[in-house]
């Protein structure tokens, strides 16, 4: 009788990882390792085809790299955002008509609501909050990660770079002062009509330094800018057959230089046009808004932090309001606006 123990048929049928993933059943442990099962160590890991000490070492080789199925955010996610904005707008309309029904702030008609600061700001805040609430629910389901993580919020980065971000806000403010001297805007722009009283001015200061920067940056630098950058690189990959760039440590796309330049230039167009009606479509203020948007895009791309561009945007708006505050004696002399 041979001293070599008979091979256990159950063990021989165990599959192990191979060159293409999992070997066929006939590639037994004996043929793969050159030894019979009785000669394998007792702590052999039958799932990974290695000993426990070797399992962690070779697991990364045996298992294929798991990549994110899509680069986020992209145009598909931007389309979802547009749908959520429409739903948020409908929610704001419903709240506005409810306020009119109860004659809040003494407003009785829609025409009166269009010129009342409580309704104009209130409707915008309502739309922002309704849309934001839907985003917090929908996008984590689509992305399989949190809303802020998907947009590269990175608040710690903004805190660490706070002084540099403040310097960027001062740069935007300096451009605004130069623009006012070289190409001043109209004296009776629609935005000036919102400053009817001291209360109106303070409400606009709060709104312009908090809600407006956060939600504008979320849309333009959080969704639109990355979507444009990704779309360009994706088109180039399809056209040239080039492999996609590897994702960064957080699983987010790394764009080409040209994609970031083009994305910034295109993002700044709707950002400036969004404020065009408020400034009576004046060329000087529109050029200023375009340049400010380019700076905000640069901050967002350089820091990989949406929070950083929000800080710059909010600080820039606050500096503008501080000048108004000082020039009107704490909003007590609105005729000096």
- Encode pLDDT of 17-56 as tens digits: 443 443 344 444 344 444 344 444 444 444 445 455 444 4
Specify the higher pLDDT residue, 241 or 48: 241
The residue range of the domain holding 49 is: 9-62
4 located within any domain: no
Which of 109, 130, 150 finishes a domain? Answer: 150
Find, among 99, 117, 95, the residue nearest to 108 by Cα.
99
Residues 107 and 242 in one domain: no
Residues 117 and 235 in one domain: no
pLDDT, one tens digit per residue, over 86-118 is: 999 999 999 999 999 898 988 888 888 888 888
| Mean pLDDT of the 119-146 span | 95
pLDDT, one tens digit per residue, over 158-199 is: 999 999 999 999 999 999 999 999 998 887 778 877 787 888
Inter-residue contact 334 to 328 (CB < 8 Å): yes
Find, among 268, 270, 260, 275, the residue nearest to 227 by Cα.
260
**Is pLDDT of 10 > 60?**
no
- In Å, the largest CA–CA distance within the chain is 112
Specify the higher pLDDT residue, 11 or 136: 136
Residues 319 and 228 in one domain: yes
**Is pLDDT of 71 > 70?**
yes
For the chain, what is the HEC assignment?
CCCCCCCCHHHHCCCCEECCEECCCCCCHHHHHCCCHHHCCCCEECCCCEEHHHHHHHHHHHCCCCCCCCCCCCHHHHHHHHHHHHHHHHHHHHHHHHHHHCCHHHCCCHHHHHHCHHHHHHHHHHHHHHHHHHHHHHHHHHHCCCHHHHCCCCHHHHHHCHHHHHHHHHHHHHHHHHHHHHCCCCCCCHHHHHCCCHHHHHHHHHHHHCHHHHHHHHHHHHHHHHHHHHHHHHHHHHHHCCCCCCCCCCCCCCCCHHHHHHHHHHHHHHHHHHCCCCCCCCHHHHHHHHHHHHHHHHHHHHHCCHHHHHHHHHHHHHHHHHHHHHHCCCCCCHHHC
235 located within any domain: yes
Q: What is the pLDDT of residue 31?
A: 41
Distance, CA of 113 to chain centre: 33
| Mean pLDDT of the 222-235 span | 96
Find, among 178, 204, 168, 167, the residue nearest to 278 by Cα.
204
Residues 102 and 38 in one domain: no
1 located within any domain: no
Residues 325 and 269 in one domain: yes
pLDDT, one tens digit per residue, over 252-311 is: 899 999 999 999 999 999 999 999 988 888 999 999 999 999 999 999 999 999 999 999
Q: What is the pLDDT of residue 199?
A: 87
Residues 145 and 157 in one domain: no
Q: What is the pLDDT of residue 5?
A: 52
Find, among 159, 165, 138, the residue nearest to 150 by Cα.
138
Q: What is the pLDDT of residue 115?
A: 82
Total domains in the chain come to: 3
3 located within any domain: no
Q: What is the pLDDT of residue 17?
A: 42
Two structure tokens written together for 219: 């849309």
Q: What is the pLDDT of residue 247?
A: 84
Residues 100 and 188 in one domain: no
131 located within any domain: yes
Inter-residue contact 223 to 231 (CB < 8 Å): no
**Is pLDDT of 125 > 70?**
yes
Which of 120, 150, 180 finishes a domain? Answer: 150
Q: What is the pLDDT of residue 75?
A: 94
> Interhelix angle for 283-303 vs 225-240, to 10°?
70
**Is pLDDT of 80 > 70?**
yes
User: 139: Cβ–Cβ under 8 A, 6 or more apart, which residues?
Assistant: 77, 80, 147, 150
Residues 132 and 174 in one domain: no
Specify the higher pLDDT residue, 323 or 29: 323
**Is pLDDT of 325 > 50?**
yes
Which of 62, 80, 104 finishes a domain? Answer: 62
User: What mean pLDDT is reported for the chain?
Assistant: 83
Q: What is the pLDDT of residue 336?
A: 64
Residues 304 and 266 in one domain: yes
118 located within any domain: yes
Residues 126 and 247 in one domain: no
Residues 197 and 322 in one domain: yes
Residues 50 and 161 in one domain: no
Beta partners for 183? Answer: none
259 located within any domain: yes
| Mean pLDDT of the 222-232 span | 97
**Is pLDDT of 134 > 80?**
yes
Percentage of residues of the chain with pLDDT beyond 90: 58
- Split at pLDDT 50, 70, 90, the class of 335 is low
Q: What is the pLDDT of residue 217?
A: 98
328 located within any domain: yes
């Amino acid at each position: 009788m041979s001293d070599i123990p008979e091979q256990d048929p159950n063990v021989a049928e165990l599959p192990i990882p191979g060159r293409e993933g999992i070997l066929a059943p006939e590639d037994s442990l004996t043929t793969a390792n050159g030894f019979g099962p009785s000669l394998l160590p007792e702590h052999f890991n039958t799932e990974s085809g290695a000993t426990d000490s070797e399992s962690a070492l070779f697991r990364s080789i045996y298992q294929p790299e798991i990549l994110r199925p899509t680069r986020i955010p992209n145009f598909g996610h931007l389309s979802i955002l547009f749908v959520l904005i429409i739903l948020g707008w409908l929610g704001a309309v419903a709240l506005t008509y409810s306020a009119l029904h109860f004659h809040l702030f003494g407003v009785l008609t829609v025409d009166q609501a269009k010129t009342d600061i409580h309704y104009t700001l209130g409707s915008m805040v309502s739309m922002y909050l309704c849309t934001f609430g839907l985003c917090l629910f929908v996008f984590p389901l689509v992305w399989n990660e949190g809303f802020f993580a998907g947009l590269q919020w990175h608040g710690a980065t903004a805190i660490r770079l706070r002084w540099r971000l403040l310097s960027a806000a001062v740069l935007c403010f300096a451009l605004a002062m130069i623009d006012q001297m070289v190409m001043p805007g109209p004296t009776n722009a629609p935005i000036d009509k919102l400053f009817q009283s001291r209360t109106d001015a303070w409400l606009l200061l709060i709104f312009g330094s908090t809600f407006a920067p956060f939600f504008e940056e979320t849309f333009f630098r959080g969704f639109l800018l990355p979507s444009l950058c990704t779309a360009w690189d994706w088109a180039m990959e399809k056209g040239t057959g080039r492999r996609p760039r590897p994702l960064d440590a957080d699983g987010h796309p790394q764009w080409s230089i040209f994609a970031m330049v083009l994305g910034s230039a295109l993002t700044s167009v709707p950002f400036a046009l969004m404020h065009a009606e408020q400034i009576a479509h004046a060329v000087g203020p529109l050029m200023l808004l375009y340049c400010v948007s380019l700076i905000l895009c640069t901050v967002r791309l350089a820091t990989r932090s949406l929070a950083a561009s929000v800080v710059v945007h909010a600080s820039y708006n606050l500096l503008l309001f501080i000048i108004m505050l000082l020039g009107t004696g704490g909003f007590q002399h609105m005729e000096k606006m």
